[in-house]
């Protein structure tokens, strides 16, 4: 089933195993599209930590969940012990092994190298397989503590948050300042969590007869507000006070449009190793 229709049931109709399977696959497809299209991320979402067993020859993978690069969820309902890696790596005294999470659960994969190996093994499909940690196998068979340096975790949001608005006519409180007038624009409705980059422009231009402008500039940026400043030049040679009064008399019908873009920190969602 490849369509994205919502499946519904009618009272009195037969409920087949295929119907339940279609429902599960359909919901998984919707979830995958949501994760890829909205969150644009993949990796460990929760849990799936690694710990050595007392023998130091195997690891325990804790319960948890992860998303692959197609947005599909991998889950482990309870902790699972992975026996010691059985692969032989010829010519390397201290080979390295990765624990990766795939659709069939966690498994060992040899990197094919020793300490400091930068890449992953040939059987690892990064993005479809999610790295959980890396161990080295010592010559006497024990494993070193799992390293999380190459562990891939999801991040809340990679795409920027964009907020915008238009002030109502007469909705700003303007005050004189040098050759200009200024006002504070409230942006709290955008729910920015950090200070974004703001841009603003005059959405409703008043009659500026006798003046050149107004020219707009912004300052004093915060997550919930910024200051807008208007400057004009009198073609009649008005004084500073005359320019300010001229601007104040014209802003009653003026509307200021603004937009803010808040970037989001986090690692890139692009899978390493060129896998798409």
pLDDT greater than 60 at residue 96:
yes
Question: Whose CA is closest to 155, among 45, 35, 33, 271?
Answer: 45
Q: What is the pTM of this model?
A: 0.53
How crowded is residue 2: how many other Cβ atoms within 10 Å of its Cβ?
A: 6
Q: Which burial class, exposed, middle or buried, applies to 91 when counting CB atoms under 10 A from its CB (0-12, 13-18, 19+)? A: exposed
Average confidence (pLDDT) over 191-218: 90
Provide the 3-class DSSP secondary structure of residue 22. helix
Q: How confident is the model at residue 7 (pLDDT cuts 50, 70, 90)?
A: low
Q: Which of 11-25, 85-99, 186-200, 202-216 has the lowest mean pLDDT?
A: 11-25
The Cα 187–Cα 75 span in angstroms is: 40
C-alpha to C-alpha distance for 74 and 64, rounded to whole angstroms: 8
Neighbours of 77 (CB within 10 A): 8
Give the per-residue pLDDT at 78.
92
Question: Distance (Å, rounded) from C-alpha 121 to C-alpha 93?
Answer: 17
User: What are the C-alpha distances in Å from 121 to residues 67, 146, 148, 151?
Assistant: 20, 17, 16, 15
Q: Identify the burial level of 155 via C-beta atoms within 10 angstroms of its C-beta, where 0-12 means exposed, 13-18 middle and 19 or more buried.
A: middle
Asked if 174 and 189 count as a contact pair (C-beta separation under 8 A), the reply is no
DSSP 219-243: EEEETTEEEEEEEEEETT---HHHH
Mean pLDDT value of segment 143-164: 83
Confidence check: pLDDT of 164 > 70: yes
Give the residue among 267, 268, 264, 266 at the shortest CA–CA distance from 193.
264
Does pLDDT of 192 surpass 70? yes
Scored b (16 or more CB within 10 A) or e, 52-73 reads beeebbbbebeebbbbbbebbe
Read off the pLDDT band of 185 (50, 70, 90): very high
Tell me: pLDDT of 264 over 90: no
Report pLDDT for 30: 66
Residue 184 has pLDDT above 90, yes or no: yes
Helix or strand (DSSP H, E) at 32: helix 17-34
b/e map of 31-48 (b: 16 or more CB within 10 Å)? ebeebbeebbbbbbbeeb
Residue with the bigger pLDDT between 269 and 61: it is: 61
> For residue 227, what pLDDT band results from cuts at 50, 70 and 90?
very high
Answer whether residue 14 shows pLDDT above 80: no
Given this model, what pLDDT does residue 158 score? 58
Report the percentage of the chain scoring pLDDT > 90: 41
- Poorest-confidence range of 87-91, 131-135, 268-272? 268-272
Alpha helix ranges (H) inside 70-226: none
């Amino acid at each position: 089933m490849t369509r994205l229709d919502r499946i519904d049931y009618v009272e009195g109709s037969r409920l087949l195993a295929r119907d339940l399977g279609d429902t599960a696959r359909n919901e998984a497809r919707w979830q995958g599209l949501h994760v890829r299209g909205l969150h644009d991320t993949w990796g460990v979402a929760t849990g799936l930590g690694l710990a050595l067993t007392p023998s130091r020859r195997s690891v325990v993978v804790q319960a948890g969940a992860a998303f692959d690069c197609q947005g599909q969820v991998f889950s482990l309902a309870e902790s699972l012990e992975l026996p010691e890696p059985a692969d032989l790596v010829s010519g390397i005294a201290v080979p390295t092994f990765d624990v990766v999470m795939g659709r069939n659960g966690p498994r060992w994969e040899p990197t094919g190298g020793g300490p400091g190996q930068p890449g992953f093994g040939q059987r690892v499909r990064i993005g479809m397989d999610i790295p959980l940690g890396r161990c080295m196998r010592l010559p006497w068979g024990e494993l070193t503590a799992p390293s999380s340096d190459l562990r891939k975790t999801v991040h809340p949001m990679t795409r920027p948050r964009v907020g915008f608005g238009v002030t109502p006519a007469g909705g700003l409180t303007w005050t004189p300042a040098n050759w200009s007038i200024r006002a504070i624009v409230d942006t709290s409705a955008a729910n920015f969590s950090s200070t974004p980059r703001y841009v603003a422009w005059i959405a409703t231009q008043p009659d500026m007869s006798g003046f050149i402008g107004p020219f707009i500039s912004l300052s004093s940026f915060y997550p919930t507000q910024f200051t807008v400043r208007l400057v004009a030049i009198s073609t009649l040679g008005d004084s500073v006070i005359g320019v300010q009064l001229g601007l104040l008399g014209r802003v009653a019908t003026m509307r200021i449009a603004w937009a803010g873009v808040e970037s989001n920190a986090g690692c890139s969602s692009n899978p390493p190793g060129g896998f798409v």
